[in-house]
């Protein structure tokens, strides 16, 4: 069934907005996935703040042509059945969501991505991004790193007090015997 020109224009406008706001757009082949599996993927993506779109590649190419930073981007990978995962708040979440889903479903294959500057990232680059820790994990590591010297200092100070208490306890036991 052919879609009308108005529908195509509205889809291109949505794609332009998605690409303009995206910090990363990951591209994956989904041939062989069932509708139920795609719904599971969309649910997992939504929980991570990632938007998944399945649109015609030609419409994506037209949308990229309307955005200055994507005009010179390599569009040669935009072939076959593709889905586009993007996030406007996290630079690695789209790649992580797709990579995690691809581990369980071999039919999904990461093939490329586009960062916020319009540069195309290859398959290996996207897989490397997927292996990075999330923002929350990085924040936890940072807090732990900042807190380590402070907790060490507190332990040193507590050691003196512990030593005095141990001496007093030993003295009290000696007096009781």
At residue 165 the predicted structure's pLDDT band, cuts being 50, 70 and 90, is confident
pLDDT of 136 reads: 80
pLDDT digits (tens, 9 = 90+) for 89-110: 888 899 999 999 999 999 999 9
Domain range 5-132, CATH architecture? 2-Layer Sandwich (3.30)
DSSP assigned state of 68: G
Stretch 63-83: mean pLDDT? 89
Label residue 57 exposed, middle or buried (CB < 10 Å: 0-12, 13-18, 19+). Answer: middle
pLDDT digits (tens, 9 = 90+) for 125-160: 999 888 888 778 888 888 888 887 877 777 777 777
pTM here?
0.75
Q: Is the pLDDT of residue 66 over 70?
A: yes
Please state, in angstroms and rounded to a whole number, the distance separating the CA atoms of residues 60 and 58: 5
Q: Is the pLDDT of residue 36 over 90?
A: yes
Nearest CA-CA partner of 130 in 156, 100, 158: 100
Print burial letters for 58-70: b (CB count within 10 Å at least 16), e (below 16): ebbebbbeeeeeb
């Amino acid at each position: 069934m052919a879609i009308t020109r108005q529908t195509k224009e509205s889809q291109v406008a949505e794609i332009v907005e998605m690409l303009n706001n995206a910090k990363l757009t990951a591209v994956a082949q989904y041939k062989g996935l069932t509708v139920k599996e795609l719904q599971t993927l969309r649910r997992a993506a939504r929980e991570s703040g990632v938007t998944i779109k399945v649109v015609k590649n030609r419409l994506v190419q037209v949308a990229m042509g309307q955005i200055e930073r994507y005009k010179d981007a390599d569009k040669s990978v935009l072939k076959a059945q593709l889905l586009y995962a993007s996030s406007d708040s996290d630079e690695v979440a789209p790649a992580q969501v797709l990579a995690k889903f691809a581990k369980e479903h071999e039919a999904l294959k990461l093939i490329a991505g586009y960062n916020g500057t319009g540069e195309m990232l290859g398959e290996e680059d996207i897989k490397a991004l997927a292996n990075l820790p999330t923002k929350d994990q990085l924040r936890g590591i940072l807090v732990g790193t900042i807190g380590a010297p402070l907790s060490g200092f507190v332990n040193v100070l507590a050691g003196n007090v512990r030593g005095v208490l141990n001496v007093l306890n030993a003295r009290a036991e000696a007096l009781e015997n």
